[in-house]
Chains A and B, each alone.
Chain A
Amino acid sequence: MLKVEHLSLQLPYYANWWRRCWAEVLRDVSLEIHPGEVHAVVGASGAGKSLLAHALLGLLPAPCRQTGRLHFQGQPLTAARQRQLRGRDLALIPQSLNALDPLVRNQRQVSWAAQRAGHTPASARDTATQALDHYQLNAGAQQAFPHQLSGGMARRVLTAMAHVSRAQLIIADEPSVGLDPQQRDRVLNALAALARGEGKAVLLITHDLRHALPIAQRVTIMRQGRCVETAPAAAFQGEGSGLNTDYAQALWQALPDNQFGNPLTSTDEQAQNVA
């Protein structure tokens, strides 16, 4: 569905007040995402994961140099096509909860998202209410303002915004950050359901391998703006001998010894263990 070939990205910075330099933040990134698949991009902070997401959507700030090719559904993804497809075929679940407008009621924001995806104002309201119901936000929370929500609820509002767009590719930027395990599993399961149930492609960006492995089919490890390795999720087991690079193996082995079960059952199991 989405094919990224040799994507490089440079952003400007000023070494002093007259000399502009270019910092290479992405270098030769290639990956491919298929329909019905959750593809995780894992890397440390500053590895370029969020910039990759913004580059795919064409949301980067103005002075940047970008090379490489993007293809979406078989056709080149140019800036004009990105603009056309944003909100319709490409959706973003942003990293920051500040993406919710503090002055607007939640339901209204989601219905705006639906309008931007092509709904009429009347059907957008219904769609928004349905989507928010789907993510278990009650009428009170729907009519509340963002600052009145907990982190997990705000995350679900953002997920509902991506949901109403009916996008084929959903880019989820750190959706699990700052949530307790149950809330996290709820959000991750919602993403997995989008891929499994509705045949969408999900690009899951996270810094934590443990969040990615339960739902992802394939994992791309990024480091300092480069793709280190793309491996099937099944390769992350045992000693990590299925992994080709040292960095990926080190990342795997550095995890605390943990069972990576299905998040649907993991919390139940944990609850049972406690009992």
Chain B
Amino acid sequence: MPVIRLLSVRLLRIALVLLCVAGLTFGLMLASPIDPIDAYLGPQIAQAGAEQRALIAERWGFDQPPLLQFGHWLRQLLSGNLGWSHVYNQPVNEVIAQRFQRSLALLGLAWLLSTLLGFGLGLLAGMREPAKPTHSTLDRVISGYAYLTASTPAFWLAMLGLLLFSVTLGWTPVCCAGPSGSLSDEVSLATRLHHLALPVATLTLLSTAPITLHTRARLRSLMHSPVATQAFAQGASRRDVAWRHGARHACLPAITLACASLGELFGGVMLIEQVFAYPGLGRATVEAALRSDIPLLMAIALFTALLVSLGNATADGLYRLIDPRLRAQAP
């Protein structure tokens, strides 16, 4: 069965990637100047003697050689246990599950909106007939917007948005995923969306540009190709060519970008969550890194890598679906 072979090859590849990511993260954490025991003790560092520190190190297994520690972690991982997060004082599985739910809303909405918006704007900007000598105003506006947002730092725009919409106008809440002091079960969907609006808008605005620009470039080159000339010779309008031929062809770079940008978007999510104090996976990453919470950080790195790998595998699969010439090739 070619499908089963394809899937197993892909899964094996993803597993190898994950192993490398785990090893690399572990190495980086070992080399980190932040001592996990100091970070754990925090202000109580003065009260802890050398004996207590040795006790903590023994309990956490820091007295063993690094390779043995890694092997131990790997064995636990295979049995489904990701360890204990000392920052949140919870099992890592639970931290990730809770945080990811919130981040998923942010990441998923921003990803979906930016992909659709980017693709649509790219099509609008790129559908210029070769027989028309000048760029349309629409093209100028869209490209200008894309270049501008592509060169805007995420945290800066987030802060500007916060200043304008939350502080000055008071339209959106200043922080968090719900009103402060309320439990997450009590918050209604409308309130959740209200809190999501500004972070999602900021993230969408910023990640639209690459897809727009690539879609536009692909469509413009298609408009000069024999395919478009033939369609124009058949009396097709610009919109007809852009929709029937252009959308199909421009899909390919758009899909690649959309799936590859998952990782980039995740980076953006970290910054945005930091600015909006949104309790998602991004903020957990920053906390875990600053306080040397190795099990949590390893898990998050692994999780992100899995997300990106799955994104790329999906892109490859969709490519085969759209371009029949790729279907005949071996994986």
A47 near B: Cβ within 8 Å? no
A87 near B: Cβ within 8 Å? yes
B320 to chain A, nearest CB (A): 12
Minimum CB distance partner of B133 in chain A: A62
A104 to chain B, nearest CB (A): 7
Residues of chain B with a CB closer than 8 A to A85's CB: 235
The answer to whether B131 touches A98 (Cβ under 8 A) is no
Whole-angstrom CA separation of A95 from B26 in the bound complex: 60
Whole-angstrom CA separation of A104 from B249 in the bound complex: 10
The answer to whether A86 touches B232 (Cβ under 8 A) is yes
Assuming the contacts A61-B131, A147-B324, asked whether A101 and B227 have C-beta atoms less than 8 A apart, the reply is yes
Partner of A103, one of B133, B233, B235, B322: B322
Assuming the contacts A58-B131, A147-B324, asked whether A101 and B245 have C-beta atoms less than 8 A apart, the reply is yes
Whole-angstrom CA separation of A104 from B224 in the bound complex: 18
A-B contact count (CB 8 A): 82
Whole-angstrom CA separation of A161 from B227 in the bound complex: 13
A102 near B: Cβ within 8 Å? yes
The answer to whether B227 touches A113 (Cβ under 8 A) is no
Whole-angstrom CA separation of A168 from B205 in the bound complex: 51
Residues of chain A with a CB closer than 8 A to B248's CB: 101, 103-104
B225 near A: Cβ within 8 Å? yes
The answer to whether B234 touches A98 (Cβ under 8 A) is no
Whole-angstrom CA separation of A98 from B244 in the bound complex: 16
The answer to whether B236 touches A103 (Cβ under 8 A) is no
B230 near A: Cβ within 8 Å? yes
Partner of A87, one of B132, B229, B233, B325: B233
A117 near B: Cβ within 8 Å? yes
The answer to whether A161 touches B131 (Cβ under 8 A) is no
The answer to whether A61 touches B130 (Cβ under 8 A) is yes
A93 to chain B, nearest CB (A): 9
The answer to whether A60 touches B325 (Cβ under 8 A) is no
**What are the interface flags for A49-76 relative to B under an 8 Å C-beta threshold, 1 for contact and 0 otherwise?**
0000010011111110000000000000
A91 near B: Cβ within 8 Å? yes
Residues of chain B with a CB closer than 8 A to A57's CB: 233
B226 near A: Cβ within 8 Å? yes
The interface on chain B, measured as residues whose beta carbon lies within 8 A of the other chain's beta carbons, has a size of 25
* Interface SS majority for chain B: helix
B295 to chain A, nearest CB (A): 47
Residues of chain A with a CB closer than 8 A to B323's CB: 102-103
The answer to whether B235 touches A145 (Cβ under 8 A) is no
B240 near A: Cβ within 8 Å? yes
A94 near B: Cβ within 8 Å? yes
Residues of chain B with a CB closer than 8 A to A112's CB: 231, 234, 236, 244
Whole-angstrom CA separation of A106 from B31 in the bound complex: 60
The answer to whether B226 touches A86 (Cβ under 8 A) is no
The answer to whether A113 touches B324 (Cβ under 8 A) is no
Residues of chain B with a CB closer than 8 A to A245's CB: none
B220 to chain A, nearest CB (A): 13
Residues of chain A with a CB closer than 8 A to B130's CB: 61-62
The answer to whether B226 touches A161 (Cβ under 8 A) is no
Size bracket, chain A contacts: 35 or more
Q: A85, A88, A112, A158 — which one has the most chain B CB atoms within 10 A of its CB?
A: A112
The answer to whether B229 touches A63 (Cβ under 8 A) is no
**What are the interface flags for A81-114 relative to B under an 8 Å C-beta threshold, 1 for contact and 0 otherwise?**
0010111101110101011111110000000110
Whole-angstrom CA separation of A101 from B245 in the bound complex: 7
Whole-angstrom CA separation of A59 from B229 in the bound complex: 7
Whole-angstrom CA separation of A57 from B240 in the bound complex: 18
**What are the interface flags for B288-329 relative to A under an 8 Å C-beta threshold, 1 for contact and 0 otherwise?**
000000000000000000000000000000000011110000
B329 to chain A, nearest CB (A): 12
A165 near B: Cβ within 8 Å? yes
A196 near B: Cβ within 8 Å? no
The answer to whether B324 touches A102 (Cβ under 8 A) is yes
The answer to whether A87 touches B234 (Cβ under 8 A) is yes
Query: Which of B19-43 touch A at CB < 8 Å?
Result: none
The answer to whether B235 touches A59 (Cβ under 8 A) is no
Residues of chain B with a CB closer than 8 A to A100's CB: 227, 230
Whole-angstrom CA separation of A106 from B322 in the bound complex: 15
The answer to whether A91 touches B233 (Cβ under 8 A) is yes
A79 to chain B, nearest CB (A): 8
**What are the interface flags for A136-159 relative to B under an 8 Å C-beta threshold, 1 for contact and 0 otherwise?**
000000000101100000000010
The answer to whether A98 touches B226 (Cβ under 8 A) is yes
Residues of chain B with a CB closer than 8 A to A99's CB: 226-227, 229-230
Minimum CB distance partner of A60 in chain B: B131
Whole-angstrom CA separation of A103 from B133 in the bound complex: 29
The answer to whether B249 touches A103 (Cβ under 8 A) is yes
The answer to whether B235 touches A87 (Cβ under 8 A) is yes
B123 to chain A, nearest CB (A): 15
Q: B133, B231, B233 — which one has the most chain A CB atoms within 10 A of its CB?
A: B233
Partner of A116, one of B131, B234, B324: B234
Residues of chain A with a CB closer than 8 A to B236's CB: 87, 112, 116
7 more CB-based (< 8 A) A-B contacts, given A59-B232, A87-B233, A104-B245? A60-B131, A85-B235, A87-B236, A91-B234, A94-B233, A98-B226, A147-B325
| A→B interface (CB under 8 Å) | 54, 57-63, 83, 85-88, 90-92, 94, 96, 98-104, 112-113, 116-117, 145, 147-148, 158, 161, 165
For this complex, 8 residue pairs linking A to B, each with C-beta atoms less than 8 Å apart, are A92-B233, A99-B226, A100-B227, A103-B324, A112-B244, A116-B231, A117-B234, A165-B234
